[in-house]
Structure 1
Amino acid sequence: MKILVTGSSGYLGARLCHALLRRGHSVRALVRRTSDVSSLPPVGESFELAYGDVTDYCSLTEACSGCEIVFHAAALVEPWLPDPSKFVTVNVGGLKNVLKAVEETKSVQRVIYTSSFFALGSTDGSVANEDQVHNERFFCTEYERSKAAADKIAMNAASEGVPIVLLYPGVIYGPGKLTSGNMVAKLIIERFSGRLPGYIGSGNDKCSFSHVDDVVDGHIAAMEKGRLGERYLLTGENASFKLVFDMAALITGTNKPSFSIPLWAIDAYGWLSVLVSRITGKLPVISPPSVNVLRHQWAYSCDKAKLELGYNPRSLREGLEEILTWLKDLGLIHY
């Protein structure tokens, strides 16, 4: 099939393009003129680049032309930006443009939309499934707010008959690009470099960790077997970052952190990082919104995806063994 992938130069999108090509599909990757395309396959008979942006409707209609499947994986994934309006422009406006372009392109049979666990909201003591709807009483980040708003648009489109499948990955990690979407790798680098000498908070946080290649497989399964209009959580093992650091120490034979850094101290560091960012223009690794996320729990069940899509997430230990070896081979950590 002819498949369009938005967000193709990103952490998830690039690996999705490679996986689709391995399965014999023809792939068109939507990229900006300024995008780093080094992680994408070489242009050839089965792979082409379409220059444009999800915020540019005309470029989307051209990119969709002749395609049967659209993977909408493009998103602005940051815990903090100096201009928060960009989250709405890309994550909400971009989805609206994709849906409009798909409606105009009669060849598109299915849209696979990459949402986020943030769109469903925190769980705080429970393990949620696809029935959870964001309560909208509070948002830890502007990214979360934008994904919750986009989720409403996607669900409304599904109710109106748009052939869309909604996917909700957890905290994606694994080898690949060191973007903000690969926060686990960034925190491991901070931990092994000594810049993050202790645990983050008391260990009461909980996230659902999803290996990037499992999420890619889940996307392809959703294309092949997903029911139109349905939501699927592509999550994994629910664990705290304390457990991640302990497991990393066990795998590498290094010492576990001997103390915990209280969230108020990390929050203060985050505010300082934001001030530095405004001067240097370099986005911070830790910011106050990311600390807000750690004050809550985000635990989810992927049983529906396992049952209907054959989704089979690997264990956190197996995934961490891979990412630690990858970071060591790159010379980014030493043990």
Structure 2
Amino acid sequence: MKAFVTGGTGFVGANLVRLLLQQGYEVKALARSNARLDNLNGLEIELISGDLNDPDLARSMQGCDCLFHVAAHYSLWQRDRDLLYQSNVLGTRNVLAAAKAAGIGRSVYTSSVAAIGIDPSGQPTTEQYQSPVEKLIGEYKQSKYWAEQEAVKAAQLGQDVVIVNPSTPIGAYDIKPTPTGDIVVRFLERRMPTYVETGLNFVHVQDVAWGHLLALQKGKSGERYILGNQNLSLKQLLDELSQITGLSAPARSIPVWIPLSVAWIDETILTKFGKKPSIPVDGVRMSKQPMYYDASKAIRELGLPQTPIHIALKDAVDWFQENLIQTE
């Protein structure tokens, strides 16, 4: 089979492309003309130069059997509202329409747990819950909600589209890096003296890649599947990193109002003087409550693997030390 993949240059996409090649798929990968191609260098794929909103995208998809729409613009900066809508919402609409026009049989759309929100009951959130969009914190989460609605609408109109909602992936090829990868990098560089009391659901990025392929093979059109594994506090994650690396984990937490104040000053005042903000306000606001999820549905219906998070962190540490960090 031949797969068309958007977002192959990114973290999840790069792992998915490698898995597809290992499983015998031919791969066409869409990449912007100015994209970093480090994650795809040396792979036997057909690289297509283009954009999510290209009007002739269907022509590039001709001959493909399936689509993995992984690409999305990620930003927690409030100034990026328009770009988030253009890329995530309109881009998803265009990509799915192109897949339909090209006669692609089945599509897998990569949403996020960010589009679901957090169940106020205090229990780990499942696919059954949906936060009102106005209660999703920040423009990024809201853009992912509206993008997911594009996939839902396409499925309701008869297109075969399965939705996957990764939680917080960890592992290799986190090239930018993601916010979680940045935590690992700052820990390795000993630039994390304190932490905030929060928590996330973590999953090995290779399991996320498998979740996409399993969704193609076993998922039900129009349904969504949380691709996650273990709920951990940030402190527990840092303690795991300490065990792996031998470096000391920060022992002191700080109240969330401190980084929130710094972020507000950064984003609303200092940017006016040309200073690049260091902490996004929306990112700090998200950390005010644990973001825990339940991946039981994907485990039960898709057979989602559950690689121990210790292994995911070890793989991330090894990759960062080899590719991004100058070690002594």
Q: TM-score, normalised by structure 1?
A: 0.90
Partner of 2:3: 3
Which aligned pairs between 1:33-182 and structure 2 lie closer than 5 A? 33-42=33-42, 44=44, 47-58=45-56, 60-80=57-77, 82-106=79-103, 108-124=104-120, 125-180=122-177, 182=178
1:289 to 2:282 alignment: yes
8 Å CA contact 1:199, 1:257 repeated in 2: yes
5+ residue gaps in structure 1?
A: none
Q: Which residue matches 1:25?
A: 25
1:247, 1:316 → 2: CA distance?
Answer: 9
How far apart, CA to CA, are the structure 2 residues paired with 1:293 and 1:312? 27
Query: What is the aligned partner in structure 2 of residue 323 from structure 1?
Result: 316
Deviations 1:129-160 (A, max 9, x none): 11112222422121101011112221122122
1:13 is matched with which residue?
A: 13
2:218 is matched with which residue? 225
Distance across 2 between alignment mates of 1:109 and 1:217: 19
In the other structure, the counterpart of 1:236 is 229
Change (3 A) 1:281 1:82: farther
3-state SS of 1:57 partner: coil
TM-score by length of 2: 0.92
**1:86-125 Cα deviation digits (max 9, x unpaired):** 111010001110121122112x000000000011012342
The alignment yields a C-alpha RMSD, in angstroms, of 2.2
Q: What is the total number of aligned residue pairs between the two structures?
A: 326
The percentage of counterpart residues that share the same residue type is: 31
Q: Match of 1:321, as an amino acid?
A: K
Q: Tell me the secondary structure at the aligned position of residue 83 of structure 1.
A: helix
Q: Would you say the 8 A contact 1:119–1:147 is kept in 2?
A: yes
Q: Deviations over 1:146-186 (max 9, x none)?
A: 01111222112212211000000001221213325x22221
- Measured in 2, the distance between the counterparts of 1:61 and 1:211 equals 32
In structure 2, the CA distance between the partners of 1:191 and 1:266, relative to structure 1 (3 Å rule), is farther
1:326 and 1:69 map into 2 onto residues whose CA distance is 30
1:65, distance to aligned residue in structure 2 (A): 1.4
Aligned position for 1:212:
205
| Structure 2 CA distance for partners of 1:193 and 1:272, relative to 1, 3 Å | farther
Unaligned runs of 5+ in 2: none
Residue in structure 1 matching 2:192, options 196, 199, 220: 196
Q: Which moved more, 1:155-164 or 1:66-75?
A: 155-164
CA distance in 2, matches of 1:281, 1:213: 37
State how far apart, in whole Å, the 2-side matches of 1:333 and 1:297 are.
32
Secondary structure at the counterpart of residue 119 of structure 2 = coil
Contact preservation (8 Å) 1:123, 1:297:
no
Bigger drift between 226-235 and 166-175 goes to 226-235
